[in-house]
Amino acid sequence: MKKKLKILMVEDSKDDALLIIRNISKESFEPEYERVETPETMEAALNSKKWDIILSDYNMPNFSGLDALKIFKKMDFKIPFIIISGTIGEELAIDTIRLGASDYIMKDNLARLVPSIKRGLQETRIKKERENAIKALTKSEDRLKSFMNSATELFSIWNSEINLVELNKAAIELFSPGAVKKDLIGKKMTDLIPSVKESGNLDKYLEVIKTGKPYYHEQITPPQLGSRNLAVKAFKVGKGLGMLTTDITARKLAEDKLRKSYTKLQKTLNGTINALASIVETNDPYTSGHQKRVAFLAIAISEELGLDENIIESVGTAAIIHDIGKINVPASILSKPGKLSDIEFSMIKTHSRTGYDIAKNIEFVLPIDKILLQHHERLDGSGYPDGIKGKDILLEAKILTVADVVEAMSTHRPYRPSLGIDKALEEISKGKGKIYDSKVVDACEVLFMKKDFNWDKM
Ligand SMILES: [Fe+2]
């Protein structure tokens, strides 16, 4: 199938125009043309529609190929312009090429015309494609630049010698406020960030370039740069280094505020716990200090077991208020010398659940309420209030149980004198694995027998 070709013909001779068109039609084109012979008609034609090519005579009575070429250049059309002339000399023809014509053909050698048109169209197509690619690239570069410059993060790119290659507005404001970008490009990092060498970061950046492994660090800018907290991510870009720096000053301030408010809350909570502990001891003066001593031993056992910090904290907090439920038991029963009746003992037993009820209303992060509930449970299910067994009892409660028994037996009680630490250790040893957790008992024994534990160190 023949290719359609819209030709603007600048030619004063109708016959010559027909001859040329006939020549083109013989081959692969189906030409459609308009003939003009003055500058005005040429301009009007160029403005009226899209043309594929301009074929222009050189010598015309009212116009010349050179003037036509000037109009063509002025209007900046991206199509081939071929001079076809019978009279043009070689030198002049070469001049037209220099002025922007794509080729020139002698009228007595029209056989060259079609190959010349084909070449011209192909060159135009290639030129257009290249221009489009450059346009797209520029557009994407512009988009990237505008993105980088509007970002609050700091971007900078450095070559393998750590000289600055590229940076965005935010980075200029950090490195050299008010400076012009072109004055910074090419500078050494050590000139722009004087502390980079002594902080050891320069070596780290060189390592990033060498290994390709990204490096993250936080730093504070010097006071003259506002003492800002920065998070820096350095990564390999080509043979050099890319750096993405984020200002985390606001985040750091918020974290600091949160930490302070958490510490304050923790202090308030500790105050509340101590107040709770002293309330029950007011009601039960004979066991004064019992909870603190139990807590001291329970924490030591937890540490001996190598438990997690959170568990140690929950054991300590629970221990210090473990008998809070006794607030509900009449003081006359708590401080009664001698043996208790069954009813009196069952009243004492309610303190585990009462303690749980009190603690569950306090928003502890740790399971304090459950530890209080279970601190008189025994491995074999013989404890109270629920008679639960082994794995159903929290480890924290098992630790509290052993510490509670050892402390209670080794100190004076209203109903009996102190039985002594040996008796207390004998009791947990006898119950080891049956009613008391074996590992907890072992840890407690190590403390007293090998590590010289005693409450005087409190
Ligand atoms: Fe208790």
Q: What is the pLDDT of residues 259-318, one digit of tens each?
A: 998 888 888 888 888 887 888 777 776 667 889 999 999 999 999 999 999 899 999 999
- pLDDT confidence of residue 411: 84
pLDDT band per the 50, 70, 90 thresholds, residue 193? confident
**Range 96-106 average pLDDT:** 88
Q: Is the pLDDT of residue 225 over 80?
A: no
- Secondary structure class of 317 (helix, strand, coil): helix
Domain with CATH 3.30.450.20 in the chain: 151-247
- Secondary structure class of 3 (helix, strand, coil): strand
Measured in Å, residue 253 CA sits from the centre of ligand 1 at 44
Q: Which residue has the tokens 């750096």?
A: 243
Say which CATH architecture domain 3-131 belongs to.
3-Layer(aba) Sandwich (3.40)
Domain with CATH 3.40.50.2300 in the chain: 3-131
Q: Give kind and range of the element (H or E) at residue 164.
A: strand 164-167
How distant, in Å, are the alpha carbons of 392, 397, 436 from that of 401?
14, 6, 8
Asked whether 189 and 264 are in contact (CB, 8 A), the reply is no
Measured in Å, residue 453 CA sits from the centre of ligand 1 at 22
Q: Is the pLDDT of residue 388 over 90?
A: yes
- pLDDT confidence of residue 2: 80
Domain with CATH 1.10.3210.10 in the chain: 254-457
Phi–psi pair at 28, nearest 5 degrees: -80, 5
Measured in Å, residue 304 CA sits from the centre of ligand 1 at 23
Measured in Å, residue 329 CA sits from the centre of ligand 1 at 12
Q: Is the pLDDT of residue 364 over 80?
A: no
Give this prediction's pTM.
Answer: 0.54
Measured in Å, residue 437 CA sits from the centre of ligand 1 at 17
Beta strands per DSSP E along 44-130: 53-56, 81-85, 103-106
How distant, in Å, are the alpha carbons of 30, 31, 110 from that of 26?
9, 10, 12
Measured in Å, residue 378 CA sits from the centre of ligand 1 at 13
Measured in Å, residue 316 CA sits from the centre of ligand 1 at 15
- pLDDT confidence of residue 110: 87
- What gap in Å lies between CA 76 and CA 57, rounded to an integer? 20
Measured in Å, residue 340 CA sits from the centre of ligand 1 at 15
Residues with CB under 5 A from ligand 1 (ion): 323
Measured in Å, residue 394 CA sits from the centre of ligand 1 at 16
Measured in Å, residue 370 CA sits from the centre of ligand 1 at 13
Give ∠ CA 173-179-184 in degrees, rounded to 5: 95
What's at 424, amino acid-wise? A
Domain 254-457 = CATH 1.10.3210.10: yes
Measured in Å, residue 101 CA sits from the centre of ligand 1 at 106
- CATH number of the 151-247 domain: 3.30.450.20
Measured in Å, residue 362 CA sits from the centre of ligand 1 at 19
Which of these, 70, 6, 1, 67, lies nearest to 35 by C-alpha position?
6
- pLDDT confidence of residue 414: 64
Q: Is the pLDDT of residue 361 over 90?
A: no
What's at 194, amino acid-wise? P
Sheet with 215-220, side-by-side order of all strands:
164-167, 154-158, 240-247, 229-237, 215-220
Asked whether 178 and 197 are in contact (CB, 8 A), the reply is no
Strand 81-85 to strand 103-106: parallel, antiparallel, or no bridges (unpaired)? parallel
Measured in Å, residue 375 CA sits from the centre of ligand 1 at 7
Measured in Å, residue 422 CA sits from the centre of ligand 1 at 21
How distant, in Å, are the alpha carbons of 90, 303, 353, 393, 414 from that of 375?
113, 19, 10, 9, 21
Looking at the chain, the whole-number percentage of residues with pLDDT higher than 70 is 98
Measured in Å, residue 129 CA sits from the centre of ligand 1 at 88
Measured in Å, residue 130 CA sits from the centre of ligand 1 at 88
Measured in Å, residue 456 CA sits from the centre of ligand 1 at 22
pLDDT band per the 50, 70, 90 thresholds, residue 244? very high
Q: Is the pLDDT of residue 107 over 80?
A: yes
Measured in Å, residue 400 CA sits from the centre of ligand 1 at 9
**Range 52-68 average pLDDT:** 90
What's at 362, amino acid-wise? I
Measured in Å, residue 291 CA sits from the centre of ligand 1 at 9
Average pLDDT taken over every residue of the chain:
90
Q: Is the pLDDT of residue 331 over 90?
A: no
- What gap in Å lies between CA 345 and CA 416, rounded to an integer? 16
